[in-house]
Amino acid sequence: MESENKQGLPKVSIVVTTLNNEQTIGECLKSIFELNYPKELLEVIVIDGGSKDSTIKIAQNYPAKIIVKPSNAPTAYNYAINLIESEVVGLIDADAKVEKEWLNKLIEHLKDPKVAGASGTIETWNRESLLPRCIGYDLKYRYSRIKGEAKRVATMNLLLKKSIIKEVGGFNENLPTQYDTEFGVRITSRGYKIVLEPQAKCYHFNRPTWREYFRQQLNYGKNTSRLYLKSPKLIRGDAITDFWMNIQPILIALSILLFIAGFVEKFMWYISASILAFLLIFYIASAIRLSYRYKDASAMLLVAVYFVRAVAWTLGGAISVIKSLKAGES
C-alpha cells in the first residue's frame, strides 16, 4: 500500500457519519483518538447530516475535521472518500466505539492484495439495558456464523482500501440503509475478500426502546425490498441475514392475506393461524438456544424482538412494493 511510513504502516482516514447522535458521539470519537496507532498517520473526518441536537458541539471537543452536509450515510461516505488522500479508509458508526487495538488487528489483513476490507466483531455497548442486550445477542450470534470471509458486513466498523472502493463505484446513494449489503456484494463479486477478525472488538449502542427499534427495522424492510427487487438473487441471504430471515416477512404477509380471505372461506383462518404458530415455535426455540448459549434467561425476550422485526420488515417491504408499483404506473 502507498503512503506507508518507516514502520510499514499506512495513513488511515476514519470517517464517522452522524445525525443527532449526542448520546454516543463523544465516546465514539474518544475511542478513535485512543487507538494504539501513530497519531500522525490517523485522520478523522466527521460528516454531520444536519443534527438538531448537540452532536456537533460535542464533536468539536475532539481534533476531527467536521463537515456539515445534509445527506444520507452512503452519500456522506462517497463525499468523504473524494476528499481523502489516504489509501486506507475506516468507517465507524457514530453509535459505535472500538477497542484500542481495533485498527492494528484489522490493518494486517489489508496486506493481502485480494482483501478489500476487514471488520471486527460486534459487542453490545449498552448491555445493562434489557432490550439492547437481547438485540445484541441476536447480532452477535449472526456474526458468529461468519467464518473468516464474508460476502458483506455492516459499515458499523469496517476498514477498506480506497482504491477498491473507487473501482467498484463507491456506495449506492439511493439506499439510505442496506447500502452495505449491496456494496459488499459488488466487492466480493469481483473476486475480492472481506474478512471478519474476531479479535477486533466494536461496541454498538443498540436501540434502547421498542419504538426506535421498530422504526429502524421498518427502514431496513423498505430498503431491503428495494434491493431485492433490483437483485432478486440476494434474497438467498448470507451468514448475517440468511434465507430464513428473508422469507419471514413473506410468511407474515401470506398469513395476513389468508386471514382476510377467511371472511369468505373460514378454513383460511386455520392456515393463517398455523403459519403464525409455526413462526412462534421457531422464535421460542431460537430464543432458548441463545439463552443457553449466552447463559442469560432474559434472552427469551428475543421472541418479541424476532416478531417485531419480522412485522417491521413486512410493513416496510409492503410500502416499498406499493411505491414501486405506483412508480411503474406513472
Tens of pLDDT, residue by residue over 212-240, are 999 999 999 998 888 888 888 888 888 89
pLDDT for res 162: 96
Tens of pLDDT, residue by residue over 268-317, are 999 999 999 999 999 999 999 999 999 999 999 999 999 999 999 999 99
The CATH code that applies to domain 12-207 is: 3.90.550.10
pLDDT for res 4: 53
3-state secondary structure the chain: CCCECCCCCECEEEEEEECCCCCCHHHHHHHHHCCCCCHHHEEEEEEECCCCCCHHHHHCCCCCEEEECCCCHHHHHHHHHHHCCCCEEEEECCCEEECCCHHHHHHHHHHCCCEEEEEEEEEECCCCCHHHHHHHHHHHHHHHCCCCEECCCCCCEEEEEHHHHHHCCCCCCCCCCCHHHHHHHHHHCCCCEEEEEEEEEEEECCCCCHHHHHHHHHHHHHHHHHHHHHCHHHHHECCCCEHHHHHHHHHHHHHHHHHHHCCCCCHHHHHHHHHHHHHHHHHHHHHHHHHHHCCCHHHHHHHHHHHHHHHHHHHHHHHHHHHHHHHHHC
For the chain, which residues score pLDDT lower than 50? 1-3, 6
pLDDT for res 328: 67
Question: Beta-carbon neighbour count of residue 203 at 10 Å?
Answer: 23
pLDDT for res 225: 86
Q: Where in the chain are the domains?
A: 12-207, 215-329
